[in-house]
């Protein structure tokens, strides 16, 4: 049996009917019987969190916990998040789970990759002397992405530009893309100059990086949610003041990046899982208009990741809301209906 939905499609704002046949969207009434599962409201391409790291235990040393992974991606799903990008996982996705019909679509970049000359104060990083070969291998082994540590802290030297450029060129040569963790000003600048495909965090980002990202088609994933949560805990020390200034710079760069044509995307980075609505609210607070800020967690993110939205033949991921999230972003916390892979999960 097909599924039938009627409502206002976003982002274009047209009111129309759509049908779901298997895992695809159609706009012509099918010849088979259809069950109406939504009549009215606002139909959004399923939410996306482009920076999340499920699988981490709530306590103890960092290690991949398959049970925690399953619970945490279920929390994403139950919040209406139907696609996830993992820019770094502590382990491999449990066999069979990825293709399960009731779990979000997954795009993984494999392991964190850290240059051997980088600070080694985080044991879960994969430290390697041959960063280029490791990045190409991760790209091929996963979903066309690799995750690179462009720096780690404000005191350690970042990865040199020539190494970042060699990695980026090699990954692009095999059709892949590079996500770069960057916090220090020089780390972000090196990554932007090297032509990485997404800059994660961007704390302390120099203003010139905005133009570089715009020219190269790179995305900015600020992950404001965990930084905002930590801000009250950062004490007033020289290092703390540096941290707070970096946080303020991130917030400014969000609006500047958008105004320059950079694709800004929503990622939550850490627990609680299924919390991308909070990231949208932080993007609004950073200066994005509400009607723009929803896109980074939905249609803009899907477009960047190659996941078709509410178009003929698009993937059958739909969330339905009683109010327009472009006007009331808070409604993203309360989906009336969630359809994932063509199946009603709520």
CATH hierarchy code of domain 47-305: 3.20.20.140
Using one digit for the tens of pLDDT, what is the confidence trace for 208-222? Answer: 999 999 999 999 999
Taking residue 144's Cβ as centre, other Cβ atoms within 10 Å add up to 17
Question: Which of 55-59, 241-245, 290-294 bottoms out in mean pLDDT, i.e. has the lowest?
Answer: 55-59
The model's pLDDT over 80-118, given as tens digits with 9 standing for 90+, comes to 999 999 999 988 898 889 989 999 999 999 999 988 877
Phi-psi region of 84 (alpha: psi -120 to 50; beta: other; left: phi over 0): beta
Report the run of H or E that residue 32 belongs to, with start and end: none
Residues contacting 276, CB < 8 A, separation 6+: 47, 48, 49, 76, 79, 81, 266, 267, 268, 297, 332
pLDDT value, residue 138 = 96
pTM across the whole model:
0.96
pLDDT on residue 116: 82
Topology classification of domain 2-45+309-344: Urease, subunit C; domain 1 (2.30.40)
- pLDDT attached to residue 123: 62
Q: Pairing mode, if any, of strands 2-9 and 34-45?
A: parallel
317, two tokens: 């991921």
What pLDDT does 61 receive?
A: 65
* Domains of the chain by residue range: 2-45+309-344, 47-305
Cα(158)–Cα(148) distance, rounded to whole angstroms? 11
Closest CA to 76 of 293, 272, 228, 258: 272
pLDDT, averaged across the chain: 94
pLDDT of 316 > 90? The answer is yes
């Amino acid at each position: 049996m097909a599924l039938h939905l009627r409502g206002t499609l976003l982002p274009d704002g047209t009111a129309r009917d759509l049908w779901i046949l298997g895992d695809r969207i159609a706009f012509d009434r099918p010849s088979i019987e259809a069950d109406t599962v939504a009549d009215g409201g606002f139909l959004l391409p399923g939410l996306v969190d482009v920076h999340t790291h499920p699988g981490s235990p709530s306590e103890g040393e960092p290690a991949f916990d398959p049970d925690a992974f399953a619970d945490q991606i279920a929390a994403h799903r139950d919040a209406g998040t139907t696609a996830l990008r993992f820019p770094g996982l502590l382990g491999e996705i449990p066999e069979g789970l990825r293709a399960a019909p009731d779990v979000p679509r997954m795009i993984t970049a494999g392991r964190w990759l850290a240059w051997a000359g980088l600070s080694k104060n985080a044991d879960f990083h994969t430290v390697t002397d041959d960063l280029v070969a490791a990045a190409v291998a991760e790209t091929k082994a996963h979903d066309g992405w690799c995750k690179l540590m462009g720096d780690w802290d404000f005191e350690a030297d970042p990865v040199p530009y020539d190494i970042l450029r060699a990695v980026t060129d090699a990954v692009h040569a095999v059709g892949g893309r590079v996500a770069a963790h960057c916090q220090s000003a020089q780390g972000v600048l090196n990554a932007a100059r090297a032509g990485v495909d997404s800059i994660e965090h961007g704390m302390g980002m120099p203003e010139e990086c905005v133009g570089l990202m715009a020219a190269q088609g790179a995305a900015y994933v600020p992950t404001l949610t965990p930084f905002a949560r930590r801000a009250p805990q950062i004490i007033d020390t020289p290092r703390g003041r540096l941290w707070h200034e970096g946080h303020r710079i991130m917030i400014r760069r969000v609006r500047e990046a958008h105004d320059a044509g950079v694709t800004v995307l929503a990622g939550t980075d850490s627990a609680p899982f299924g919390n991308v609505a909070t990231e949208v609210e932080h993007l609004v607070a950073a200066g994005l208009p509400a009607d723009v800020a929803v896109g980074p967690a939905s249609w803009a993110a899907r477009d960047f990741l190659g996941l078709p939205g509410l178009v003929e033949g698009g993937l059958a991921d739909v969330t339905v809301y009683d109010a327009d999230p472009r006007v009331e972003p808070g409604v993203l916390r309360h989906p009336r209906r969630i359809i994932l892979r063509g199946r009603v999960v709520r």
